[in-house]
């Protein structure tokens, strides 16, 4: 990567970091990225409202290759002292999406200046953190007949600047599940005259180990209790309403769906047994992030071509990513570039994206388009 382009991309990253915006609120972020590309490149810009993409048109190109970056921030405070600290309390780029977006913008500079023998699409996506960003963009794949799509995420725990890759599932499918139960109130001295959801919810929680056991699932399946809210702080009234919030997660999407079905069916059985009304809500829904082997192999070749250390991952990461919506519709792969084994992890107060990974990401992407 040219040093001048790296400096421009690094400055862009710092500007994005100072102006964090949460999922589906990235108005300034999107416009700033568009302004950057219009200032420094001649690429075509396609504004889609919440998101946008840029296109490099090659002469007589037969392939359409896309690269994706997310650009939303997290609802966290910036507590470390940075020259480019967040200017907005309660919002900060603590996952590195500022760095991902700056990498893609820096890559756009390189392609605009040096050219390519393929049509290159630079997809800038909102709302990855809530799982509803990629699904807004998926029609882009069919509209432009994208042959292949790539992306990366910075990853603490991997050696600095090393590339981590795996065939098949790279990140788990997950969703937030809320189970609402409604009974009827009564005086605490006469519990038999009301309908209390506490027992049904307790039975649900106790069933979790059975539903997630390795004996009945072929891959990792997790169900994490994140909140139990039953009744009120009123000692004279028996509980009549209850809410159980869970994060359900699985290596394979079919097993996530089976876990959801098992929980719903058992909750309905409990509701019938105790005379409760039951309903369900879902949010933060992520597909499994699946790597096509052919695309993952290209990442391996590209990393070696750039003399980047290559780490073959033994298993998928438990976290989730919405990039899987794209690889359901075309070939593609998602890799990781290491922050260092001891570097603070994403989603922690101590974390900040390492600027040098911009250059690593650009070099990896540049090598990919040559394959």
CA distance 251 to 335: 17
CA distance 204 to 243: 11
CA distance 183 to 111: 62
**% the chain with pLDDT above 90:** 99
In angstroms, the Cα distances linking 349 to 76, 150, 321 are 8, 28, 21
Burial track 233-242 (b if 16+ CB lie within 10 A, e otherwise): eeeeebbbbb
The pLDDT, as a whole number, for residue 7 is 98
Beta-strand relationship, 64-70 and 148-156: parallel
The pLDDT, as a whole number, for residue 62 is 85
What is the rounded average pLDDT for all residues in the chain?
97
In CATH, 3-169+290-368 is 3.40.50.1970: no
Whether the predicted pLDDT of 343 surpasses 90? yes
CATH 3.30.70.360 intervals, the chain: 173-285
CA distance 206 to 165: 37
Q: What is the pLDDT of residues 87-134, one digit of tens each?
A: 999 999 999 999 999 999 999 999 999 999 999 999 999 999 999 999
Q: DSSP assignment of 146-157, as one string?
A: --EEEEEEEEET
Whether the predicted pLDDT of 52 surpasses 90? yes
Whether the predicted pLDDT of 253 surpasses 90? yes
CB 66 within 8 A of CB 149: yes
Q: What would the CATH number be for the domain defined by 173-285?
A: 3.30.70.360
CA distance 263 to 190: 30
CB 202 within 8 A of CB 249: no
Confidence of residue 179 (pLDDT cuts 50, 70, 90): very high
**% the chain with pLDDT above 70:** 100
The pLDDT, as a whole number, for residue 60 is 84
CATH 3.40.630.10 intervals, the chain: 3-169+290-368
Residue 249's CB is within 10 A of a number of other CB atoms, namely 23
Burial class (CB within 10 angstroms; exposed 0-12, middle 13-18, buried 19+) of 286: buried
Q: What is the pLDDT of residues 212-232, one digit of tens each?
A: 999 999 999 999 999 999 999
Whether the predicted pLDDT of 308 surpasses 90? yes
Confidence of residue 61 (pLDDT cuts 50, 70, 90): confident
Beta-strand relationship, 331-340 and 148-156: parallel
Q: What is the pLDDT of residues 258-307, one digit of tens each?
A: 999 999 999 999 999 999 999 999 999 999 999 999 999 999 999 999 99
The pLDDT, as a whole number, for residue 95 is 98
| Average pLDDT of the segment spanning 71-77 | 98
Q: What is the pLDDT of residues 132-175, one digit of tens each?
A: 999 999 999 999 999 999 999 999 999 999 999 999 999 999 99
| Average pLDDT of the segment spanning 328-355 | 98
H helical segments located in the chain? 3-18, 27-40, 97-114, 134-137, 139-143, 198-212, 253-274, 293-305, 324-327, 356-368
């Amino acid at each position: 990567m040219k040093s001048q382009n790296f400096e421009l991309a690094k400055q862009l990253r710092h500007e994005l970091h100072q102006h964090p915006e949460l999922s589906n609120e990235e108005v300034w972020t999107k416009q700033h990225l568009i302004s950057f590309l219009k200032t420094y490149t001649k690429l075509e810009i396609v504004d889609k409202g919440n998101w946008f993409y840029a296109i490099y048109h090659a002469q007589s190109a037969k392939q359409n290759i896309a690269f994706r970056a997310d650009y939303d921030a997290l609802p966290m405070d910036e507590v470390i002292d940075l020259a480019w600290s967040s200017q907005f309390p309660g919002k900060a780029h603590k996952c590195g999406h500022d760095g991902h977006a700056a990498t893609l913008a820096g890559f756009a500079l390189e392609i605009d200046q040096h050219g390519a023998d393929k049509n290159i699409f630079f997809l800038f996506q909102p709302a990855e953190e809530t799982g509803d960003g990629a699904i807004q963009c998926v029609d882009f794949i069919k509209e432009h007949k994208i042959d292949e799509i790539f992306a990366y995420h910075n990853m603490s725990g991997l050696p600095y600047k090393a590339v981590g890759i795996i065939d098949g599932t790279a990140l788990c499918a997950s969703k937030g599940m809320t189970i609402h139960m409604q009974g009827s109130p009564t005086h605490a001295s006469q519990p038999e005259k009301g309908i209390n959801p506490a027992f049904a919810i307790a039975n649900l929680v106790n069933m979790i180990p059975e539903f997630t056991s390795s004996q009945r699932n072929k891959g990792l399946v997790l169900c994490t209790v994140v909140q139990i809210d039953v009744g009120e702080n009123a000692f004279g009234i028996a509980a009549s309403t209850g809410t159980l919030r869970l994060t359900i997660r699985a290596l394979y999407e079919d097993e996530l769906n089976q876990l959801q079905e098992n929980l719903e069916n058992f909750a309905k059985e409990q509701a019938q047994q105790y005379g409760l009304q039951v309903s369900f809500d879902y949010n933060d829904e992520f597909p499994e992030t699946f790597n096509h082997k052919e695309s993952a192999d290209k990442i391996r070749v590209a990393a070696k071509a750039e003399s980047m250390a290559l780490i073959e991952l033994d298993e998928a990461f438990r976290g989730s990513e919405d990039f899987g919506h794209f690889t359901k519709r075309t070939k593609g792969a998602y890799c990781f570039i290491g922050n260092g084994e001891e570097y603070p992890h994403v989603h922690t107060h101590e974390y900040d994206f390492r600027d040098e990974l911009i250059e690593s990401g650009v070099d990896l992407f540049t090598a990919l388009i040559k394959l």
